[in-house]
Structure 1
Amino acid sequence: MRLIGLTGSIGMGKSTTAAMFREHGVPVYDADAAVHDLYDVGGAAVGPVGEAFPGVVQGGAVDRELLRQRVLGDPEALKRLNAIVHPLVGQDRLGFFAEAQAKGADLVVLDIPLLYETGGDARMDAVVVVSAPARMQRERVLARPGMTPDRFDAILAQQMADAEKRARAHYVVDTGQGLDHARAQVADIVKALRDAPRREVPAGAAPVEDGAKPGH
């Protein structure tokens, strides 16, 4: 079973791309969704996060906006939070792996927003980066309820630049040219990965002009 990392900066269309992998029968692990569950009522992170950041638990669940305000721009606070959440996500991910393996999956996709920033790419067999033009990215994000230009810029400051992600990726899915174009790129990537020998990244298997860039 080969591990495929799926990542991309905010507003690039990563969730939509993840759904396209599912259309090909590839199980997708959504790290953000796992964290949402951990923060929800009864979630394993509620207690320890509440102790580390008093006041962020409201109604038995972690208020993500309050927590965001506590850690944004504070590397030490973010480090404390990650020390709580990452091991819990790791446990949840092991269950996902076991289920996928039991079903005979040949590929699994790990949808991880900060894959490069956390060094998680080192554990992947290949990494797919989702990208779009900066203007389109900004328009998408600022259309979200409650989003402001300052908040968007603060989020971008915590993420690796899109150009660097693209340079380090084995494949790039360009969502700036419509869903059909992106879906065709995903189909090419899935085929290339399934045709490749185990534990070997299929360099050059999908054409650059279709947005799937060979690895480095």
Structure 2
Amino acid sequence: MIHRMRPRLPLRRPFILGLTGSIGMGKSTAAAMFEREGVPVFDADAEVHRLQGPGGALVSAIEARFPGTTGPQGVDRQKLGTKVLGNTHELHALEAIVHPAVARAQRHFLMRHRARDLVVLDIPLLFEKGGWRRVGAVAVVSAPLWMQARRVLRRPGMTWARLKAIRRLQVPDRVKRARADFIIETGRPKSETRRQIRAIASCFRAHSGRY
């Protein structure tokens, strides 16, 4: 873990830590470990799944804009991905539907936990969409690129071509590492990753009296 925190926002309660990392780097595992440390986590991906799942609030809007991409189980992510990956215009159209709804859910999360010392916003595209400007510090989850590829290619429906297309949409891992306040390594045993996360949480608890 590298720690070079330069808070972007005034220290206040709750302190907002942005958690990000490229596909397959282990961000979901890291987020779960923060939760086990008692830190509230807003999972942007999970919120998108909820909004796009069965009965989700965005299903009808997505079907209207991208016909044939939804069904009884909500949005078919593979069909939708086929329409938007590599097509900037279509991707922006999807983001215009999804991002405002996720932003509203995030605001509600922050209100619910406004008395906490620390909260984590788990946002995959934190750097890509400018979310880093609205957090106090950034933790980047990282692993060797060969390990990333091995993890991602195990996923159903994933191919090298699809992985390459996703990587093109994401800030490279080396750039994220250079911009991070904390780097959480997940290419090591989970016990080591857990130790890093415990140290980060403890750091903010130790400084909570200064907020």
TM over 0.5: yes
For 2:138 and 2:206, the matched residues in 1 are separated by 16
Paired amino acid for 1:66? K
**Of 148, 151, 163, which aligns to 1:140?**
151
* RMSD over equivalenced CA pairs, Å: 1.6
Q: Answer yes or no: is the 8 Å Cα contact 1:2–1:198 preserved in 2.
A: no
1:57-80 CA-to-partner distances (Å, cap 9, x unmatched) read 222622111111110001111111
For 2:38 and 2:136, the matched residues in 1 are separated by 18
Paired amino acid for 1:165? K
Q: Answer yes or no: is the 8 Å Cα contact 2:117–2:204 preserved in 1.
A: no
Q: Percent identity?
A: 49
**1:172 Cα deviation from its structure 2 partner:** 0.2
Bigger relative contact order, structure 1 or 2 (CA pairs below 8 A, ≥6 apart): 2
Match of 1:189 in 2: 200
Match of 1:56 in 2: 69
1:159-197 CA-to-partner distances (Å, cap 9, x unmatched) read 110000000010000011110111111111112222336
**Of 58, 74, 89, which aligns to 1:45?**
58
Match of 1:123 in 2: 134
Aligned length: 198
The runs of at least 4 consecutive aligned structure 1 residues that moved more than 3 Å come to 196-200
Match of 2:4 in 1: none
Structure-2-length-normalised TM-score: 0.89
Paired amino acid for 1:73? G
**Of 177, 201, 205, which aligns to 1:166?**
177
**1:144 Cα deviation from its structure 2 partner:** 1.9
Match of 1:81 in 2: 94
Cα separation, partners in 2 of 1:26 and 1:149, compared to 1, 3 Å: same
**1:199 Cα deviation from its structure 2 partner:** 9.0
Q: Can you give the 5+ residue segments of structure 2 that lack an aligned partner in the other structure? A: 1-13
Q: Answer yes or no: is the 8 Å Cα contact 1:4–1:126 preserved in 2.
A: yes
1:22-79 CA-to-partner distances (Å, cap 9, x unmatched) read 1111000110110011111221111211111111122262211111111000111111
**Of 2, 8, 22, which aligns to 1:9?**
22
For 2:58 and 2:158, the matched residues in 1 are separated by 26
Structure-1-length-normalised TM-score: 0.87
